[in-house]
């Protein structure tokens, strides 16, 4: 009798682990999260400070969710280029905000996300800096990665987009 009881307990524990694994496998949203689309929609001069040789740009990405899964965006890590010249790195992050406080992307949603990009004159060629400040840059490109999340999973996707 004692041997049969141990076998039953072990079988029950194994069944619980199998059930948990099945739940995680079948609720994995990574395929749906990979469908997210990101497009650079605008780069506008917000402020140019000649005292500290710094310009702030409003960078706007349009995020589209074509999947059936509701998701949030935790991070957009990108390199910004102006007319082919690297301007620097930017980061949109909501990782310190709880999921219920983030922008929610329902199925079919298109939501613009804005980020302030700081351009230091010392980080780029002075001619490029002046072109950015004077609005002479005609083509902006952003490339990097976007991290999307649901309650159950997270996905990272590389992107490249022009404006």
**Antiparallel, parallel or unpaired: β 85-93 and 154-162:** unpaired
Let me know: does 80 contact 87? Beta carbons within 8 Å: yes
Examine residue 78 and state whether it is found in any structural domain, yes or no. yes
Residue 75's pLDDT is what?
96
Which residues have C-beta within 8 Å of that of residue 95, sequence separation ≥ 6? Answer: 74, 75
Quickly count: other Cβ atoms within 10 Å of residue 32's Cβ: 20
Examine residue 18 and state whether it is found in any structural domain, yes or no. no
pLDDT at 83 over 70: yes
Instruction: Give percent of the chain with pLDDT exceeding 90.
Output: 61
Examine residue 23 and state whether it is found in any structural domain, yes or no. no
Residue 140, domain CATH: 2.60.40.10
Examine residue 15 and state whether it is found in any structural domain, yes or no. no
Q: Which of the 8 DSSP states describes residue 103?
A: P
Rounded to whole angstroms, the Cα distance separating 159 from 107 reads: 20
- pLDDT, one tens digit per residue, over 23-82 is 666 555 667 788 999 999 999 999 998 888 999 999 999 999 999 889 999 999 999 999
Let me know: does 79 contact 89? Beta carbons within 8 Å: yes
pLDDT band at 2 (very low <50, low <70, confident <90, very high): low
Examine residue 86 and state whether it is found in any structural domain, yes or no. yes
Residue 31's pLDDT is what?
75
Give the chain's domain count.
1
pLDDT at 149 over 80: yes
Examine residue 61 and state whether it is found in any structural domain, yes or no. yes
Examine residue 58 and state whether it is found in any structural domain, yes or no. yes
Domain extent, residue 149, equals: 32-162
141: which strand partners? 81, 162
């Amino acid at each position: 009798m004692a041997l049969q009881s141990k076998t039953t307990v072990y079988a029950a524990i194994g069944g619980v682990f199998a059930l948990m694994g099945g739940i995680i496998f079948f609720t994995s949203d990574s395929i749906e999260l990979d469908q997210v689309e990101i497009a650079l929609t605008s780069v506008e001069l917000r402020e140019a400070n000649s005292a500290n040789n710094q310009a702030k740009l409003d960078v706007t990405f349009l995020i589209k969710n074509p999947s059936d899964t509701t998701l949030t965006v935790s991070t957009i890590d990108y390199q910004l280029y102006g007319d082919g010249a690297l301007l620097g790195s930017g980061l949109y992050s909501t990782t310190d905000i709880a999921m219920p406080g983030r922008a929610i992307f329902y199925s079919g949603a298109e939501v613009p996300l804005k980020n302030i990009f700081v351009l230091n004159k010392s980080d780029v060629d002075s001619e490029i800096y002046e072109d950015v400040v004077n609005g002479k840059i005609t083509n902006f490109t952003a490339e990097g990665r976007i991290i999307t999340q649901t309650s159950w999973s997270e996905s990272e996707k590389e992107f490249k987009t022009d404006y």
